[in-house]
C-alpha cells in the first residue's frame, strides 16, 4: 500500500516535470500506518468537526497528501487531478492549499508554519473539549514535519508553547532523513532534536520509519501520554530510488525516467504510471471508510445532546457572532457618543473586548507578552492553562510568530474567533503567518498597538513607520487605523463580521479626542473612508488622515476655516474597504479639491489618494527616542505643518 | 560598584519618567564582574578591532549599558547624557542604538536579535582569526539575554547555528529572573533552558547571579570550553526595590519616589540622584583602563606584522573592496556585452560571485539552505565549518532569520562583507533583521531569488507579490531588481560600494534576454532608472518596468512602433537611487508622455511614478501554482496587455 504512494508521487512529479518526490517516498510507510490504523477521518465529509487533523508541515511533499486523499477516496481528488499536479486550475497545487483541495487542513510550504498551525489546532481541540465534552470533541492532531521545519525559529516557539500547555493530543511525526536541500543536515545543524523537544516538556521517541509495527507502537504509545509527542522516524529520503535514495537529489526535482524505472523494479511495483491495482486501491478505500461509523456515532451524539448545547456547538462551528454581539457593540457606541472619552484607541479596544467577551464565547484572546500594553484581556476572560482549557485568554509569551500561526490553526480548526496582540512594529516578527491568514482567508484579528512614533521613548526599534504600507500591500488583509473610540468599536465590528479576511487593528498608545458625537446605526468605518468634518460639496482643500492624525487634521481645518479656507477632513480607517466602495461614493468622499494626506508613517501608498499634485505630512525615515509630543514636533507632523501645506498647495494651484 | 549601576538606572528612569529599571538592577552584579574582571575593552577607543564584544540582547535594559559606559569612562557618555535618558537628541536612547552612542556594539530592543547578532560577531572573530592569527584577532563575545530573547524563535536559530559551528568564544549570560511583562514566565513557558542549549551542543551552567565569585568562576570556566557557553544567572529583577523586586512591576516603568528611596536604604546607597562617590567612580575608571595595555600591545603587534598582512587587515577593517573588484566587474560586463547571454539574473549573480570572490577575501557568502537555487556559492569558496573557519561560505540552514541577524553581526564586527540568499518571498522570515540592517546602516547584501510568479509551480506560498512594495517601503534599503545579466553586475557593484545601506537583490528564476549590448564605463543602475530603449525626447508613451518585465516592455515597444506609436522603455532597477537623482535627470527619464508600469507584483508604490492617469500591468492578488509561462498569461502580464494598455491610454487622452 505504501508503494502506491511512492509510485503516484514519482509519476506525478515526473509528469509535472517539477516537484518533490523524496519526502513522499521516504514517509510513505509512516503515512500508511497513520492513515490505515489511526487517523480518524471520513473522506465523505472532510469538514466533520471531530475528525483528527492531519497537517503536512513539510508541504513540499504535497504528493504524499494528494496520494493519500486519492487513495482513501476524497471526493474530487481524482487520478486526473494527480495527473495535472502543479498545473493551472488543478486542485493539486505545488504545495497543499487550504480551500483549494478537500482534505487539506492548512496551507503549508513556508516551513515551520504547519507545526505551529497544528499547535493552534490541538489547543482549539482542548478548548472546545473543555466547553463541550468528550462526546462532541475528542480528536488528535498529527503533523509530519521535516528537518527544515525544525530548523526554523518558529518551531521553537511552537514546541515551547505546546509543551507548556501539555497538548497531549498533538503528535509530531518527524521525517528524520538527515537531508535538506543543500545536502546532509550535518552541514548546518548539530542539534539533538529528541533532547530539544524533551527540554520543552515533550514525550520523545525514535523509530525506524520503514518498520510499520515500530511506527504503530510509537503512535499508540504517544496517544496515551500526558504531553505532546515527538516520534522521530528514521527514513531514507527517496526510498526505493536505486541511485538517488538517501541524497538531496531526490528532494526537489523529478527522478528521471531511468531512476523511476529502477525504483519500480526495486520496489517490485510493475504497474504503469498512475495505475493502482484494484486490490490495493480497495484496501486503501477500505481504510478510507474506517471512520464512517465513528462519524455516524458522533452525529448521533450531537443529535442527542441537549438543544442549547447543540445550538451553541453549531453556532461556534458556523462562526456566527450572534445577536448579543450587535447589542453589546451598539451599547458601547452609545456610551462613547454620550461621554466623548479622550482615550487611546488601545483603551477603546479594551472596552470593546470587555463588552464582547461575555457574549461571544467563541472569542479567544491573547498577547505576545504585552497584555498590559496591548490591553487585550477582558475582565471576564480566564487564562488558558494546561490544567484548565475552559478559559478564553492565552499568554503566548514573547512569541509573536507562533501567536499568528496558532491563531491560524485555531481559526482553521473551527469553533473560535482568535485575536492576539503585540506592538505594530512586531508584525514583522509574524508577517509570514499574517500572509497565510490572508492567503487562506481566515478570520484572525491582529490587535497591534503603539502604532506610530506616538509610542515615544522606546525609540525607532519600536516605532513602526513602514508597517502600515507593508501591511496594506498584502492582498486580502484589512488594515484598520481607527481615529477615536467610536471608530475603534466600528473597526472591531468589521473585523468580527468578515469571516474570510484577517484584520489588523492598528491602535494608538496615546489618548485621542472623540471626533464623532453621534453613534447612529450605521458603521462608516465599514465604508473604509468618510467625511468626518467640513462640507462634502464645497471645499478648497481636502485633508485625508487616519488614526491619531485625524484629530490634527480636524484642528488644522478649524484654523484654515478661520482664514477663510474651507477644509474638509476625511478619515480613512481602512483603505481596503474604501477601495471596493462604489465609484460614486469614492468620488464624493475624495472630492475634487487638492488633497493633503496626514499620517505618522511613510508616504508609500498615499500617492494613490493624493495624486501627483497632493502633499503629504508624515515620516520620511525612522523615528527617534523621545516623548511622543517632542517627536511629532521634531518630525513636523503638526497642525501648523498641515495648515502651511494647505496654503502652499492652494498657492501653487494659483488660487 | 554594582550599586552604582542600580542607582544610576533607577535615577535615570525616574527622571525620564519611563524606562526599564528591573533588568539593570537585577544584572548589576553580573555586569560588574564581567566589566571589572573579564571584558577586554578600551573606552578610549571603542573601535579597537580586537576588543571583546558586549551585546545587550535584552536591550530594554539600556541603562545597564549606559551606566557601564559612563562609569568606565567612554568619551561622550557623561552624567548629563544619563540625565537626558530617552530625550530627543541625547545619546542615551530608550534602547541602545548603534552609531548613536559610543560603546554600543549593535542596536537591540527587538528581542532575540542581539543574541543572533552575537553569533555573527563570534563567527566573524573566528573567521578573521583564521585569516590573521591570534596576534591580531583573539577576543570573546559576551551577551546578556533575558527570558524574552530565549522565547523568540530567532533564539533557536541562533543557538542551533552557534552550537553547530562550536563558537567557543561566545558566552551568553542569561538573566534568569523568571519574570516577563505579563508576569511570572511560568505563565507562558516550561522549557528547561539549560537542557535546550545543551541539546544544541552548548556548555551550560547555572549560578546565583548575585554571587560575584560564582559568576566569575563560571565565566572563567566558559572561556576554556570548546563550545559556546550558556551561564544561567539566577537573579532577582529589580534587586533592591523593597516592595517591587522579583515582580514584573519593576520591568518597564519607573519605580516611583518612595520605592527608589526604599531601594537606596536597602542597598545602603545614601548618595543623591546621579551622584557617584569619588572612590567608587575611581574604581570603575580603573576597571575601564584595564584594557589600555592590551590595546597598546595589540597595536605593537599590528605594527610589527608583515606589511602585506597589515595592509590586508586594515583594508578589511576599512571595508574597501579594492581595485581587483572593479576590474573583475568590468571584465564580466565586457563578456556579457560580447555574449549577450539569455540567463536568469540569479545565474548572472552566480557569475558575479564567481568573479569577485577570489579578489575580495572579505566577502562571506551563504544561503538559508537554497544554495543550488539561489546560486550563491562561488567555485572558489570553501564552506565554513567548526573545524575550519578559513572558508568563505556559510550554510545557514533553513534559518533565514538568523542568517539576516548573523550577517548584521558579521558586518558590525568588521573585516567582512556578508551576503546571503533565500527566496524573495522569505524576506518575510527575516524582515526584523533587514530592518535592523537598515536602521544601523550596515552593508549587508540580501540575495533574494525567485522574485515573482516566474517561480512557477511552487505556487502562491512561494511567489512574492507584495514583497517588493514592502521592502521599498522600508527606509534606508536599496531594493534592486535587475533586468538582465548586465544590470545584475551593476546592481552588485552598487551593493558592494554602498557601505552604509543594506541592499536586497531581487533576482529571477527564469532566463531573461540581454537588453544592453555595450558595457560602457558607467553604471546606469547606480542612477536607479534610465531609458533602455526608444527615444528620450520624442515619445507617445513611456513604459516603466523592472526585472523580468523589462524585456516584455521592450517587446511591446517594438510592436507599438510597428503601429506608429513611439514607446520609450525605462528600466527602473532601484527606485531609491532614482529618487535621489537630480530633478532634471528624473524629469528627462520619466518624460511627459503617459506612463504604463509593468511589474509582476502588486501596484503599491507605482502610483508615484505613473501618476493618476497612468496604467499598471501586474498582479492584483496572490499567485497560483502552474508553469511560469502559464501564470504570466493567466494574470495578464503579457506583451499584448502592455500594447493594449498603451493604446487605451492614448485613446483616453484623446490622441
Above 90 in pLDDT, residue A520?
Answer: no
A591–chain B nearest CA distance, Å: 15
**How far is Cα B384 from Cα B394, in angstroms, rounded to an integer?**
5
What DSSP line would sit under A258-314, residue for residue?
A: HHHHHHHHHHT--PPTT---HHHHHHHHHHHHTTHHHHHHHHHHHHHS-HHHHHHHH
**pLDDT at res. A419:** 98
Q: At B231, give phi and psi (nearest 5°).
A: -115, 105
**pLDDT at res. B503:** 98
Q: CA-based diameter of chain B, in Å?
A: 90
A438 vs B contacts (CB less than 8 Å): 622
Counting one residue from chain A and one from chain B, the pairs whose CB atoms sit within 8 A come to: 338
List, for residues B638-647, the tens digit of each pLDDT value.
Answer: 999 999 999 9
List, for residues B285-304, the tens digit of each pLDDT value.
Answer: 999 999 999 999 999 999 99
**How far is Cα A72 from Cα B505, in angstroms, rounded to an integer?**
45
Average pLDDT over residues A161-182: 96
**pLDDT at res. B652:** 76
Which is catalytic among the residues A400, A549, A576, A599? A400
Question: Which parts of A375-484 fold into alpha helices (H)?
Answer: 400-413, 427-440, 467-472
Judge: A466–B457 Cβ closer than 8 Å, yes or no.
Answer: no
List, for residues A214-228, the tens digit of each pLDDT value.
Answer: 999 999 999 999 999
Q: How many CA atoms lie within 13 A of A222 on its CB side?
A: 29
B465 vs A contacts (CB less than 8 Å): 475
Above 90 in pLDDT, residue A193?
Answer: yes
Judge: A164–B189 Cβ closer than 8 Å, yes or no.
Answer: yes
Q: Is residue B453 within 8 Å of B591, Cβ to Cβ?
A: no
Judge: B402–A627 Cβ closer than 8 Å, yes or no.
Answer: no
Question: What is the percent of chain A where pLDDT is above 70?
Answer: 100
- Residues making up the annotated binding site of B are 20, 60, 109-111, 147-148, 177, 179, 251, 346, 373, 426, 450, 458, 462, 509
Q: Is residue B465 within 8 Å of B623, Cβ to Cβ?
A: yes
Average pLDDT over residues B622-637: 98
Burial class (CB in 10 A: 0-12, 13-18, 19+), A322: middle
B460 vs A contacts (CB less than 8 Å): 93, 97, 439
Question: What is the percent of chain A where pLDDT is above 90?
Answer: 96
Which residue on chain B is closest to A84 by alpha carbon?
B626
**pLDDT at res. B653:** 64
Q: Which of B371, B457, B476 sits opposite A621 (nearest CB)?
A: B476
A326–chain B nearest CA distance, Å: 31
Average pLDDT over residues A38-60: 98
User: Is A164 marked as a binding-site residue?
Assistant: no
List, for residues A255-290, the tens digit of each pLDDT value.
Answer: 999 999 999 999 999 999 999 999 999 999 999 999
List, for residues B37-89, the tens digit of each pLDDT value.
Answer: 999 999 999 999 999 999 999 999 999 999 999 999 999 999 999 999 999 99
Q: Is residue B103 within 8 Å of B43, Cβ to Cβ?
A: yes
Q: Which three cell numbers stand for residue B98?
A: 548603534
Q: Is residue A238 within 8 Å of A244, Cβ to Cβ?
A: yes
Q: At B100, give phi and psi (nearest 5°).
A: -105, -30
Question: What is the percent of chain B where pLDDT is above 90?
Answer: 96
Is A400 labeled as catalytic in the residue annotation? Answer: yes
Q: Is residue B306 within 8 Å of B40, Cβ to Cβ?
A: no
Handedness of CA A172, A177, A182, A184 (dihedral sign): positive
**pLDDT at res. B637:** 98
Q: How confident is the model at residue A653 (pLDDT cuts 50, 70, 90)?
A: low
Judge: A472–B604 Cβ closer than 8 Å, yes or no.
Answer: yes
Above 70 in pLDDT, residue A125?
Answer: yes
Above 60 in pLDDT, residue A466?
Answer: yes
B204–chain A nearest CA distance, Å: 13
Q: Which of A289, A255, A288, A249 is nearest to A273 (CA)?
A: A255
List, for residues A353-383, the tens digit of each pLDDT value.
Answer: 999 999 999 999 999 999 999 999 999 999 9
Which residue on chain A is closest to B191 by alpha carbon?
A200
User: Degrees (nearest 5) of the Cα angle A242, A244, A249?
Assistant: 160
Q: Which of A147, A399, A458 sits opposite B152 (nearest CB)?
A: A399
**How far is Cα B308 from Cα A486, in angstroms, rounded to an integer?**
70
- Residues making up the annotated binding site of B for thiamine diphosphate are 60, 109-111, 148, 177, 251, 426
- In whole numbers, what is the pLDDT of chain B averaged over residues? 97
Judge: A458–B94 Cβ closer than 8 Å, yes or no.
Answer: yes
List, for residues B393-439, the tens digit of each pLDDT value.
Answer: 999 999 999 999 999 999 999 999 999 999 999 999 999 999 999 99
Above 90 in pLDDT, residue A134?
Answer: yes
User: Is A450 marked as a binding-site residue?
Assistant: yes
Q: Which three cell numbers stand for residue A448?
A: 497591534
**pLDDT at res. B323:** 78
- Residues making up the annotated binding site of B for Mg(2+) are 147, 177, 179
First to last CA, chain B: 81
Q: Is residue A142 within 8 Å of A171, Cβ to Cβ?
A: yes
Cα dihedral B180, B181, B183, B189, rounded to 10, equals -50
A398 vs B contacts (CB less than 8 Å): 111, 147-149, 151-152, 180, 188
A520–chain B nearest CA distance, Å: 34
Q: How confident is the model at residue B385 (pLDDT cuts 50, 70, 90)?
A: very high
**pLDDT at res. A519:** 87
Q: How confident is the model at residue B654 (pLDDT cuts 50, 70, 90)?
A: low
Q: How confident is the model at residue A654 (pLDDT cuts 50, 70, 90)?
A: low
**pLDDT at res. B259:** 96
**How far is Cα A478 from Cα B245, in angstroms, rounded to an integer?**
42
B253 vs A contacts (CB less than 8 Å): none
In the three-class reduction of DSSP (H, G, I as helix; E, B as strand; rest coil), residue B405 is classed as helix
Place of cell 505532546: A228
Average pLDDT over residues B263-267: 97
**pLDDT at res. B519:** 87
Judge: A18–B457 Cβ closer than 8 Å, yes or no.
Answer: yes
Q: Is residue A458 within 8 Å of A625, Cβ to Cβ?
A: yes
Average pLDDT over residues A540-545: 98
Q: Is residue A329 within 8 Å of A492, Cβ to Cβ?
A: yes
B152 vs A contacts (CB less than 8 Å): 153, 157, 398-399, 429
List, for residues B561-602, the tens digit of each pLDDT value.
Answer: 999 999 999 999 999 999 999 999 999 999 999 999 999 999
User: Is A522 marked as a binding-site residue?
Assistant: no
List, for residues A572-622, the tens digit of each pLDDT value.
Answer: 999 999 999 999 999 999 999 999 999 999 999 999 999 888 999 999 999
Tell me how long chain B is.
655
**pLDDT at res. A289:** 96
List, for residues B311-336, the tens digit of each pLDDT value.
Answer: 999 999 998 877 799 999 999 999 99
Above 80 in pLDDT, residue A69?
Answer: yes
Above 80 in pLDDT, residue B444?
Answer: yes
Amino acid at each position: 500500500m505504501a508503494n502506491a504512494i511512492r509510485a503516484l508521487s514519482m509519476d506525478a512529479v515526473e509528469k509535472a516535470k517539477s516537484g518533490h518526490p523524496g519526502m513522499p517516498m521516504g514517509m510513505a510507510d509512516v503515512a500508511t500506518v497513520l492513515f490505515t490504523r489511526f487517523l480518524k477521518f471520513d473522506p465523505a465529509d472532510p469538514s466533520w468537526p471531530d475528525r483528527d487533523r492531519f497537517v503536512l508541515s513539510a508541504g513540499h511533499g504535497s504528493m504524499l497528501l494528494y496520494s493519500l486523499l486519492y487513495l482513501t477516496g476524497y471526493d474530487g481528488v481524482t487520478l486526473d487531478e494527480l495527473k495535472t499536479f502543479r498545473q493551472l486550475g488543478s486542485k493539486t497545487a505545488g504545495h497543499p492549499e487550504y480551500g483549494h483541495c478537500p482534505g487539506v487542513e492548512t496551507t503549508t510550504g513556508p516551513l515551520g508554519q504547519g507545526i505551529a498551525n497544528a499547535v493552534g489546532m490541538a489547543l482549539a481541540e482542548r478548548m472546545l473539549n473543555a466547553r463541550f465534552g468528550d462526546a462532541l470533541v475528542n480528536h488528535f492532531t498529527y503533523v509530519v514535519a521535516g528537518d527544515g521545519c525544525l530548523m526554523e525559529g518558529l518551531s521553537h516557539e511552537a514546541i515551547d508553547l505546546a509543551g507548556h500547555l501539555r497538548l497531549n493530543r498533538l503528535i509530531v511525526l518527524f521525517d528524520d532523513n538527515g537531508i535538506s536541500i543543500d545536502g546532509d543536515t550535518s552541514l548546518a545543524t548539530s542539534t539533538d532534536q529528541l533532547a530539544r523537544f524533551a527540554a520543552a516538556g515533550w514525550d520523545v521517541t525514535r523509530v525506524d520509519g520503514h518498520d510499520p509495527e515500530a511506527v504503530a507502537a510509537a503512535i499508540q504509545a504517544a496517544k496515551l501520554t500526558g504531553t505532546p509527542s515527538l516520534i522521530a522516524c528514521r527514513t531514507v529520503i527517496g526510498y526505493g530510488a536505486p541511485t538517488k535514495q538517501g541524497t538531496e537529489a531526490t528532494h526537489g526535482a523529478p527522478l528521471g525516467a531511468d531512476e523511476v524505472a529502477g525504483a519500480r523494479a526495486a520496489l517490485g511495483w510493475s504497474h504503469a504510471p498512475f495505475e493502482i491495482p484494484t486490490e490495493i486501491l480497495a484496501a486503501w478505500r477500505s481504510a478510507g471508510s474506517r471512520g464512517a461509523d465513528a462519524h455516524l456515532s458522533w452525529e448521533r451524539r450531537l443529535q442527542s445532546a441537549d438543544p442549547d448545547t447543540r445550538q451553541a456547538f453549531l453556532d461556534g462551528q458556523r462562526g456566527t457572532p450572534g445577536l448579543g454581539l450587535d447589542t453589546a457593540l451598539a451599547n458601547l457606541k452609545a456610551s462613547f457618543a454620550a461621554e466623548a472619552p479622550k482615550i487611546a484607541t488601545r483603551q477603546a479596544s479594551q472596552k470593546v473586548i470587555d463588552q464582547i467577551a461575555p457574549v461571544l464565547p467563541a472569542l479567544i484572546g491573547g498577547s505576545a507578552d504585552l497584555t498590559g500594553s496591548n490591553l487585550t484581556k477582558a475582565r471576564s476572560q480566564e487564562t488558558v492553562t494546561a490544567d484548565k482549557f475552559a478559559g478564553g485568554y492565552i499568554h503566548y509569551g514573547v512569541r509573536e510568530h507562533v501567536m499568528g500561526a496558532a491563531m491560524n490553526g485555531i481559526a482553521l480548526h473551527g469553533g473560535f474567533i482568535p485575536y492576539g496582540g503585540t506592538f505594530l512594529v512586531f508584525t514583522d516578527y509574524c508577517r509570514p503567518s499574517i500572509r497565510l491568514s490572508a492567503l487562506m482567508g481566515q478570520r484572525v484579528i491582529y490587535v497591534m498597538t503603539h502604532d506610530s512614533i506616538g509610542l515615544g521613548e522606546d525609540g525607532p526599534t519600536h516605532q513602526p513607520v513602514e508597517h502600515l504600507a507593508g501591511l496594506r500591500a498584502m492582498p486580502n488583509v484589512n488594515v484598520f487605523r481607527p481615529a477615536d473610540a467610536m471608530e475603534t468599536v466600528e473597526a472591531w465590528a468589521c473585523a468580527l463580521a468578515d469571516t474570510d479576511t484577517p484584520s489588523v487593528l492598528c491602535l494608538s498608545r496615546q489618548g485621542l479626542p472623540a471626533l464623532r458625537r453621534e453613534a447612529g446605526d450605521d458603521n462608516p468605518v465599514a465604508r473604509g473612508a468618510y467625511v468626518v468634518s467640513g462640507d462634502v460639496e464645497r471645499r478648497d482643500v481636502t485633508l485625508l488622515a487616519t488614526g491619531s492624525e485625524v484629530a490634527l487634521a480636524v484642528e488644522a481645518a478649524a484654523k484654515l476655516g478661520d482664514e477663510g479656507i474651507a477644509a474638509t477632513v476625511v478619515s480613512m480607517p481602512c483603505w481596503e474597504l474604501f477601495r471596493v466602495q462604489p465609484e460614486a461614493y469614492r468620488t464624493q468622499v475624495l472630492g475634487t479639491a487638492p488633497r493633503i494626506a496626514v499620517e505618522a508613517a511613510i508616504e508609500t501608498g498615499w500617492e494613490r489618494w493624493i495624486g501627483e499634485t497632493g502633499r503629504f505630512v508624515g515620516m520620511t525615515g525612522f523615528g527617534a527616542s523621545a516623548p511622543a509630543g517632542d517627536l511629532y514636533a521634531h518630525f513636523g507632523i503638526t497642525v501648523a505643518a498641515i495648515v502651511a501645506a494647505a496654503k502652499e498647495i492652494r498657492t501653487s494651484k494659483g488660487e
